[in-house]
Structure 1
Amino acid sequence: MTPEALATLAHLRRARDLIDREYASALDVPTMASRALMSPAHFSRQFRAAYGETPYGYLMTRRIERAMALLRNGMTVTDACMAVGATSLGSFSSRFTEIAGETPSAYRSRKHHAIAAMPPFVAKVTTRPLRRAAAKGSSRIREATPTAAA
């Protein structure tokens, strides 16, 4: 890996750390890009190439991940929405459903006993949300494998 590529990754990590720390604040791509010392367009391209999703997509995934933890602990959907920095309950619910595969209220009402018994670091990895499109894509691959082998 070239020194320039390593420097780019270091700058991108700085921006990703900003997202992880400040997910509840009003972050936009220009703010994230300035942390990475890049123009917004170049930053978006580089971030997607490095992490597989857009900066805004990463931000929303982090917000939904944090909201899932709050909902598991009994917080209301509206309070969780506001706590993670979402300004619209409707948009939050739509994005939550897109990423988690179920509505926030359905997720909140479900029992989460197994997660409560896990060490926090295991629970964080286990409950990390995956976009439904990615999950569907992986299941199609699994479905196609037995057919191809038959």
Structure 2
Amino acid sequence: MAESNPPLTSSAPPADTEPLQDPALLRRLLRAKDRMDAASHEAWPVDRLATVSGVSEAHFARSFKRAFGIPPHRYLLTRRIEQANTLLRDTALSITEIAFATGWESLGTFGRVFRDINGRSPSAMRREAQAAVRQLDRVPACVLKAAQRPDLTIAVLEKRRREAKGTLPTSTKEVS
């Protein structure tokens, strides 16, 4: 009589999508995230971040994405674009100065990525921000910052591919 074995499939989600449960690892990842926040203008390759966290590069990259929902490079791009938005709105620095001050090595790359993420060029963003200054004077800075945070839940190149195919959901499609 042959035994019937139950199927080996599991309804549990894959391990790489489950939230991190190790508090020590989360503290180390937060240390790296805080360093990126404090010096987003610096280069932060994965090996440097892994060293700050005290884990291997592959483990760091996997764990960071599990903990914060986006890869470390995309997180750094978010911070740089946020800082650029603030400088465009609040200073008279040239766009070139802002690009280099926020960590970009090329003005062209800064402009292209900025446009891909925000849906408009840095100069157009500056004009709109300056026109809206009076209306936003009464809104707390923390609320403005959260509302103006760039959406990088999908990669910029993936966003371009979806726009070209017309499959980007309307909630994340950039406005021209």
Normalised by the size of structure 2, how large is the TM-score? 0.70
What amino acid does structure 1 have at the position aligned with 2:47? P
Q: Give the Å deviation of 1:112.
A: 2.9
1:125 maps to which residue?
A: 146
Residues 74, 152 of structure 2: 8 Å contact kept = no
Q: Give the Å deviation of 1:20.
A: 0.3
What amino acid does structure 2 have at the position aligned with 1:92? F
Report whether the alignment pairs 1:82 with 2:100: yes
Distance 1:97 1:131 in 2: 13
Q: Which runs of 5+ in 2 are unaligned?
A: 1-19, 160-167
For each residue in 1:9-31, what CA deviation from the matched residue of structure 2 results, as whole angstroms up to 9, or x when unmatched?
11110110011001011221111
SS in 1 for 2:85: helix
Structure with more helix by fraction: 1
Report whether the alignment pairs 1:12 with 2:29: yes
**How many pairs are equivalent?**
138
1:25 maps to which residue?
A: 42
Label 1:109 to 1:116 Cα distance change in 2 as closer, same or farther (>3 A).
same
Q: Which runs of 5+ in 1 are unaligned?
A: 141-150
Residues 70, 153 of structure 2: 8 Å contact kept = no
Q: Give the Å deviation of 1:4.
A: 6.5
For each residue in 1:68-89, what CA deviation from the matched residue of structure 2 results, as whole angstroms up to 9, or x when unmatched?
0000123321111011111101
Percent identity, aligned pairs only, is 37
Label 1:56 to 1:133 Cα distance change in 2 as closer, same or farther (>3 A).
closer
Label 1:131 to 1:124 Cα distance change in 2 as closer, same or farther (>3 A).
same
Normalised by the size of structure 1, how large is the TM-score? 0.81
1:101 maps to which residue?
A: 119
Distance 2:75 2:118 in 1: 14
Distance 2:121 2:38 in 1: 25
Distance 2:26 2:153 in 1: 27
Report whether the alignment pairs 1:62 with 2:79: yes
Distance 2:169 2:54 in 1: 34
